[in-house]
Amino acid sequence: MRVTNILSTRAYELSPPFHLIYEWEDDLAAALGVPVADAKTPLRKALINRYTKPAYQKLSGGLLDKLNNSLEYGRPAVRAADAYSLAYELYPAQEPNFTTAAKTIPILVDLWKPRHGDSLAGFYHWYRRCPLVLISSLEALEYLQADGCPLPVAHLALSLSDRHRLLPSTRYEKKYDILLAGRLNIRTNQVLRNYLEEYVRQYPATEYLYQEEIDGEYYYSSNQTGLVGKFQSREDYIGLLRASRISFYSTPGIDGGEIRTGGFNPVTPRYLELLAAQCLLLGKYPDNAETRYYELPKVCPNVNSYEEFARTLSGYLHEPAPSFEAHRAILDKHYTSVRAQELLGILAARS
């Protein structure tokens, strides 16, 4: 089993969450020595689109699935019997597409736990043709295995592009004390926000940056001085992380996040981004296979009370020269070049 090209949506998916995926694609392509190809070829666009899909469904329920599969078999890069495409999938497919074909190995980024009463039958159905389905979340993989998943699945965790590697000589200049990275209602744990508000009441001079929406666009503002900037590009966002001393990190499925994830708590790439930016962390997360895999307890105290929060934050704010050796040791296990070698091992075991 070989990967001979990587299918990318970069020609039409331009929103920020995909920028990270495109870094992974580029790094994997370089490590594996394969090209990055447009996921939607001109022929696919002509045959499968919003106008033709309803017609196929009227003619035959399985026609779209068969056509989708045939189009991927027609890619020159995968014509050899052991050749396959690799494709990142942000969310599981709900209909046939290039990631569900028999010539594609999908890497599922976000796979949430089914809500009570829901079934995984649809997921199993759409990916039944794939020779291998790579699951980024260890927690999700264990759930699938316990459910008797009929698909050939394996774990390939998310990573950080090697372009952001934290070198021993690196030392970033810190301009901001505390950064709440990302949208407040999604990325920052509400309990931690409440703790921070209490801390600021106790220590009014404390400054932190947070994201807010202004006229339909997102900006970062300081609680002390007001608007700071937009930081919308990938480069600007990474620069903001590097300029910040402290940030909060929590997994997405706790303290109200269960509604979105079903209770799954994957460790997201932001954790690795914060480590690479030399941010001191405090957070909230469960003790599970995922958080142990990424070694969160070594670098991110799991605070369970305001007193613990205040003590940790005050210690960080008064730490003149923190060590980032633990950050670097963890990151060395999770760069995309490491995932490339792990992927080769997975493929070799199935050849």
Residue 284 in this model has a pLDDT that exceeds 70:
yes
Considering the domain architecture, whether residues 120 and 194 belong to the same structural domain is answered as: no
Considering the domain architecture, whether residues 136 and 195 belong to the same structural domain is answered as: no
pLDDT band at 16 (very low <50, low <70, confident <90, very high): confident
Considering the domain architecture, whether residues 7 and 145 belong to the same structural domain is answered as: yes
Average pLDDT over every residue of 103-130: 90
Q: What's the pLDDT score for residue 112?
A: 84
Q: Which of 280, 276, 285, 282 is nearest to 329 (CA)?
A: 276
What residues make up the domain containing 69? 2-162+335-349
Q: For residues 253-274, b (16+ Cβ closer than 10 Å) or e, as one string?
A: bbeebbeebbbbbbbbbbbbbb
- The percentage of the chain sitting over the pLDDT mark of 90, rounded to a whole number, equals 82
pLDDT tens digit string along 191-218?
Answer: 999 999 999 999 999 999 999 888 888 8
Taking the C-alpha atoms of residue 217 and residue 280, their distance in angstroms, rounded to an integer, is 28
Considering the domain architecture, whether residues 154 and 31 belong to the same structural domain is answered as: yes
Taking the C-alpha atoms of residue 79 and residue 77, their distance in angstroms, rounded to an integer, is 6
Considering its fold, how many domains does the chain have in total? 2
Q: What is the CATH number of the domain that holds 61?
A: 3.40.50
Evaluate whether 231 touches 176 at the Cβ level (below 8 Å): no
211 bridge partner residues: 220
Considering the domain architecture, whether residues 172 and 85 belong to the same structural domain is answered as: no
pTM score, two decimals? 0.93
Phi/psi at 186 (nearest 5 deg)? -120, -50
**Amino acid letter, residue 153:** V
Considering the domain architecture, whether residues 91 and 21 belong to the same structural domain is answered as: yes
pLDDT tens digit string along 47-106?
Answer: 999 999 999 888 887 899 999 999 999 999 999 999 999 999 999 999 999 999 999 999
**Amino acid letter, residue 53:** K
Considering the domain architecture, whether residues 175 and 134 belong to the same structural domain is answered as: no
Q: Which of 18, 299, 268 is nearest to 139 (CA)?
A: 268
Considering the domain architecture, whether residues 73 and 198 belong to the same structural domain is answered as: no
Residue 251's contacts (CB-CB under 8 Å, 6 or more residues apart) are: 257, 265, 266, 267, 268, 284, 285, 286, 290, 291
**Amino acid letter, residue 246:** I
Considering the domain architecture, whether residues 11 and 84 belong to the same structural domain is answered as: yes
pLDDT band at 116 (very low <50, low <70, confident <90, very high): low
Considering the domain architecture, whether residues 48 and 132 belong to the same structural domain is answered as: yes
Q: What's the pLDDT score for residue 285?
A: 93
Residue 332 in this model has a pLDDT that exceeds 60:
yes
pLDDT tens digit string along 144-167?
Answer: 999 999 999 999 999 999 999 999
Considering the domain architecture, whether residues 130 and 247 belong to the same structural domain is answered as: no
pLDDT band at 41 (very low <50, low <70, confident <90, very high): very high
